[in-house]
Amino acid sequence: MKPEIRDQRPETKDRGLKTGDRRRRLENAYLLLLWNQARRRVVVGSLGRIEFAPGFYLYVGSGGANAVRRVQRHLRPDKRVRWHIDYLTAGSGRMRPVDVYLYPGLAECRLARAVAAGRTGIAGFGSSDCRCRTHLFYSPDLPRPPKPAARG
């Protein structure tokens, strides 16, 4: 089964641009949902060896204007390992991608905060360039994607 790429554009009354919105407008966050069939240990670059329990992992990223291309890269097993998430999505033994949700105009760290609610995560994963604790979260059961507000 091939994962669909779903548009999760938040419904907002106010689509007008305000000061400071220019950069935010280019942040197209996405949520990649992965299924880990069995417990595994993976060396994730500088983070070292991490143990992944069976279940679902939610990865929050952003691709700016190239969000769809970035997401398609995550779904391809053949690639050079470059980002933390690549350690989980490359090669034949990868975690299986289940779904992808796009959040046009939403900042990835805002999405990460929404996904973090009530969940544990892998510290430092995908969050080297921001102040979030992590951008990878764990769910023992199939999670519902959040619908965060565009701003506020």
Q: Is 29 in the site for Zn ion (CB under 5 A)?
A: no
Q: Is 132 in the site for Zn ion (CB under 5 A)?
A: yes
Instruction: Find the residue with minimal CB distance to Zn ion.
Output: 132
Q: Is 130 in the site for Zn ion (CB under 5 A)?
A: yes
Nearest distance in Å: CB 4, Zn ion: 25
Nearest distance in Å: CB 46, Zn ion: 17
Give 124-128 contacts, CB < 8 A, sequence gap 24+.
124/47, 125/44, 125/47, 125/50, 125/84, 125/85, 126/59, 126/60, 126/61, 126/83, 126/84, 126/85, 128/84
Tokens of 91: 């090669």
> How far is Cα 12 from Cα 64, in angstroms, rounded to an integer?
20
Near Zn ion in 84-123, by CB under 5 A: 109, 112
Q: Is 58 in the site for Zn ion (CB under 5 A)?
A: no
Site residues (vs Zn ion, CB under 5 A)? 109, 112, 127, 130, 132
